[in-house]
Structure 1
Amino acid sequence: MSTFNIQDIQKHADVIASCGTKVGTVDHLEGETQLKLTRSEDANGQHHLIPTSWINEVKNNQVVLNKNSEEVYATWQAV
């Protein structure tokens, strides 16, 4: 598992699955354990939460996950 500084995650950064697919955009951090995605890109207009444990690295204003897009879509939490 890569190490990263949670403070390096910027609002509006792209969230990229391990397969290279963009799965969302950062809205903000929910504490230090969850990342809230914007609802503007969701077909149903919902926010989604993903655990920060899914984050592999933060680079070039992107949050790169250790899950592929199918895993993300199947297990993220709608709020």
Structure 2
Amino acid sequence: MADISSIREHAEVIGADGVHVGTVDHVEGNRIKLTKADSGMGSHKGHHHYVPLALVADIEDGKVRLSANADVAVTFEEEAGGGSAT
């Protein structure tokens, strides 16, 4: 398990495949809150999304690497109200 306390604001979040998922706003409870700039398109644009800390595989070189590929990780994202982003 990665040392969650080493997750820093503005760190890049990447999937296991190295693809950009988002940028850390901060850790909130058992989730990483992503910046609004990485909120997606359409109805998902303009608000925060969250990634469960359970997906964090490692923190390396200031980047948060997830245990799932980016395309899978985004299916686990939650929106500010707690619902799924998909």
User: Which TM class, normalised by the smaller chain length?
Assistant: 0.7 to 0.9
Partner residue, 2:84: none
Partner residue, 1:71: 72
Partner residue, 1:30: 28
SS in 1 for 2:75: helix
Partner residue, 2:13: 15
Partner residue, 1:39: 36
CA distance in 2, matches of 1:18, 1:69: 7
Is there any run of 5+ residues in structure 2 with no aligned partner, and where?
A: 81-86
RMSD: 1.1
Query: Following TM superposition, where does structure 1 have runs of at least 4 consecutive aligned residues deviating by more than 3 angstroms?
Result: none
Q: State which drifts further: 68-77 or 45-54.
A: 68-77
CA distance in 2, matches of 1:5, 1:75: 21
Is there any run of 5+ residues in structure 1 with no aligned partner, and where?
A: none
State percent identity of aligned pairs.
33
With structure 2 as the length reference, what TM-score do the two structures score?
Answer: 0.81
SS in 2 for 1:45: coil
Structure with a larger share of its residues in helix: 2
With structure 1 as the length reference, what TM-score do the two structures score?
Answer: 0.88
The count of corresponding residues between Structure 1 and Structure 2 is 76
Partner residue, 1:57: 58
